[in-house]
Amino acid sequence: MKGLWMWDKGFSEDNIIGKHDKYVKNKIKSQLKDGDVFINTTWLEIDKDLESIFSQKVKRAILYSGPDWENTNCIYERRKAHQFISDNSEEVVHIGNFDNENYFCFWLDFLIKHPFPEFNFFDREPEKKFMSLNRKPHDHRVELVNAFENGGLIDDGYVSLGGRYTLDEWENEDGDKAVAGDVGITNDITSLGNPELWNNHRINIVSETTQHTNFFISEKTFKPIVGCRPFMILGDIKVTNYLKRWGFDVFEDIFGTGHNCKWHSDRIRWIILALQTVDVDLTELKERLLYNKEHFKIVQKQNREKLLSLPAFT
């Protein structure tokens, strides 16, 4: 059965995300054991192909999630497909975006191949307090931007949100090609955006793709780490603590630990209060910011080593 039984319907291999996804999947498939079935959960659904694979009891189903979240907590059809696999498998193993021993980060590995361009991140005294870039208007991002508005913070920062706010940003053709639809903001997955705007803000507010999944970190979280800015993150509740575990400085002495609040609305209130009451001096933080930037390379290497030798296959 090894290498023969697979359900692999995800990003097209003709775009920048799909090409790297192919690389990652091939590394995983090369580690499969006899009897394993590989399932790409990106757009998982019960179709004839999936039914055919599980027409007989499967010994072990390897469920992979890479560029996108694992979908066990959202979208009814995908939850139903996960249940179908579980009902027809002796064992189900999640790898990729799932908080277990087989976790690895697709986007950490993607940025080895496609690193953010370098520039001098300390070339001026920034005028804006913060930056919060939001492309797709997911509910938690709309709630965050509404909180910026209600808290009187919009003029203090650079804020984008699909359908409401846009910034002077260049086009990212590779990123745009990789996603369907258009919200008027480029899908900038390979840069920090306009360097003039980046260097003119002091605090970065990351609104991750999700705040409701098992665990997901995208390239968004790594922008302030590589781009030398202190940050607060609105995403899945485990994100900041994972960064701490990896050895990053997450600036709890400055912003507090509101990232641990159970509900995302409480985490939004934490972000707003911090922006209203705290400011930072990048010169004073420069050593800590440069540490994060250099430590990022170590974490990337560790993540690649994990990908190449996943506990599920050892």
Q: What is the pLDDT of residue 1?
A: 46
pLDDT tens digits for 79-122?
A: 999 999 999 999 999 999 999 999 999 999 999 999 999 999 99
User: 224-250 as b/e, with b when 16 or more CB fall inside 10 Å?
Assistant: bbbbbbbbbbbbbbbbbebbeebebbb
Blockwise average pLDDT, block size 10, the chain, 314 residues: 74 94 96 93 94 92 95 85 95 96 98 96 97 95 98 96 82 80 85 94 97 93 98 96 98 97 97 97 98 98 97 94
Q: What is the pLDDT of residue 180?
A: 67
Q: What is the pLDDT of residue 42?
A: 92
Burial of 268 (0-12, 13-18, 19+ CB in 10 A): buried
Contact 275, 151 (CB under 8 A): yes
User: 84-97 as b/e, with b when 16 or more CB fall inside 10 Å?
Assistant: bbeebbeebbbbbb
Specify the pTM.
0.94
Q: What is the pLDDT of residue 175?
A: 86
Q: What is the pLDDT of residue 71?
A: 84
Give residue 54's Cα distance to chain centre.
31
Q: What is the pLDDT of residue 31?
A: 94
What tokens appear for 244 in the block? Answer: 């701490």
d(C-alpha 210, C-alpha 113), whole Å: 24
Residue type at position 287 = E
